[in-house]
Amino acid sequence: METALTPLDFMRRARSLYGARPAVVDGDRRWTYAQFFERCDRWAAALQRLGISAGDRVAYIAPNTHVQLESFYAVPQIGAVLVPINYRLSPEEFVYILNHSGARVVCAAEPHTAQIDAVRAELRTVEHFVALEEPRPGWIDLETARREAPSSPSCPPVSERSLLSINYTSGTTSRPKGVMITHRNAWMNTVGTLVHIHMTPSDRYLWTLPMFHANGWTFTWTVTAVGGTHICLRRPDPGQVFDLVRREGITMLCAAPTVLIALAHAPADLRAGLQRGVRVLTAGAPPAAATIEAIEEGLGWTVTHLYGLTETAPFISICEWRPDHDACSPADRSAIKARQGVELITSGELKVLAEDGEEVPHDGVSIGEIVVRGNVVMEGYYADPDATRACMGDGWFRSGDAAVVHPDGYCEIRDRLKDVIISGGENISSVEVEAMLLRHPAVQEVAVVGLPDAKWGEAPHAFVVLANGATVSAEGLRDFSRAHLAHFKTPHSFTFVPELPKTATGKIQKYVLRGGRGNMATQ
């Protein structure tokens, strides 16, 4: 009587229960669930006519459009493996991922078809090139292929242990690694999310998070599971976000902290007339309490912080709100919400281990590494057994995140292990220093890294983006830091920059800052 745990079952249920309900909005175009799934079915059948079968890789390079969303249903239902690629990568990086994954099909939106054309000769496995948005010479036109295909594909039985997707990490310090996510991984993350984040058919979800990033944190399937409405958005420009929130009655969105910072600091005229009560889920990097407070107090939206990695499908913990937190001040509530929290019910087991392999005491001070095991942990890195063994060979997935555990059992990240600053023998959390500096009214964004220092070995250095129209000197920030931190944690110097280097998912690329200081003005 068992059936496979697969997000395709959410498609089956939504087709049955929500066929007439609004499913997808993309600009002026709208589809019900029945219409949307008909499009998915025909595209799946078209892929089969191209010779794509179970286990074959189908890659997508596209922003958050309806055709990108279709990939999460059309590709898996014929047993093929989806490879959603970060569309902001370079053509050389596209070549590496397409070759490494062994993709037989690449589907691209504009302007990425031209980028792929420039490197076609280097693609070893791609047999079919599909233009997602506009007909292009030498490319299969998506809509033409869809019209000419049968109304439904021949769907093979799906094993929950089968690969659903290969999601490539950002590769900030080395070649990106292909994270193998199974149908079971994705189902578990979706259901775990819905246990903690209650959603209904009335929810209208705005796609401010890239769908390629860990399968849109599985909201590509989570929204469908409850019959909610997907509102597509190509890029999270604050003006467009606020416009859609008003026009489409948005109730929920997901965003990395850098996107929240942009929303919180948007001009007042853009933020005028926004409805309150929009639910915001944030993850991808530790959010500062000041950022959470700015969204909740400034916009009247409610922020929930989750934690995870691409390798964990992605959520493994949530900062679950408790009744006793209600009595806290806004600043204290934000500080609590900035913690990574506790395990999701379906994610598995989370521990914070010291260097000796023992759990750290729950004192909010002792630092260890977050390790996890359970149903959301990836199958491994594709075609990279050495990297797989290195991070999960002992039966636990090692996150690389340094954290403490508070007396109430809530964990809180202090830093990436590789980003902890060791100055004069003292460990300094860059996350702690950043969170403090973000409370200065002139600071919009900040990144703190360790740079070589003749006396201390290395010392904290802050790269600062000022809020629009704001001014502050390095000495002013130094005095502010000393008033709120131990002196050894105060940045020794400051660099004012117009923007911070980031990945497409909003993570600050600290290795770029460490390597490029010489090209910036330092005070």
For 378, the token pair is: 């990836």
Average pLDDT taken over every residue of the chain: 95
pLDDT band at 506 (very low <50, low <70, confident <90, very high): confident
Residue located via tokens 């008003």 = 246
Which pLDDT tens digit goes with each residue over 198-224? 999 999 999 999 999 999 999 999 999
Which pLDDT tens digit goes with each residue over 263-285? 999 999 999 999 999 999 999 88
Sign for the pseudo-dihedral over CA of 405, 406, 407, 409 = negative
Tell me, rounded to whole angstroms, the distance of Cα 104 from its chain centroid.
26
What span, in angstroms and rounded, lies between the C-alpha atoms of 477 and 440? Answer: 8
3-state secondary structure of 481: helix
Which pLDDT tens digit goes with each residue over 302-345? 999 999 999 999 999 999 999 999 999 999 999 999 999 999 99
Residue 136: how many other CB atoms lie within 10 Å: 18
Contact between 190 and 218 (Cβ < 8 Å):
yes
Pick from 467, 87, 500: which is nearest to 267 by CA?
467
The per-residue pLDDT for 519 is 44
Edge to edge, what strands does the sheet with 380-381 contain? Answer: 140-141, 128-131, 105-108, 57-61, 81-85, 163-168, 178-182, 380-381
Rg (CA), the chain: 23
Contact between 447 and 462 (Cβ < 8 Å):
yes
The per-residue pLDDT for 426 is 85
What span, in angstroms and rounded, lies between the C-alpha atoms of 207 and 470? Answer: 31
What span, in angstroms and rounded, lies between the C-alpha atoms of 489 and 414? Answer: 13
pLDDT (average), residues 248-271: 94
pLDDT of 171 over the 80 cut: no
Environment class of residue 253 by beta-carbon count within 10 Å: exposed (0-12), middle (13-18) or buried (19+)?
Answer: buried
The per-residue pLDDT for 427 is 84
Q: What is the pTM of this model?
A: 0.91
The per-residue pLDDT for 517 is 52
pLDDT (average), residues 66-75: 98
What span, in angstroms and rounded, lies between the C-alpha atoms of 257 and 241? Answer: 15
The per-residue pLDDT for 379 is 98
Residue type at 119? V
pLDDT band at 458 (very low <50, low <70, confident <90, very high): very high
Sign for the pseudo-dihedral over CA of 413, 416, 417, 422 = negative
Q: Which domains does the chain have, with CATH numbers?
A: 27-182 (3.40.50.12780), 236-372+394-416 (3.40.50.12780), 420-519 (3.30.300.30)
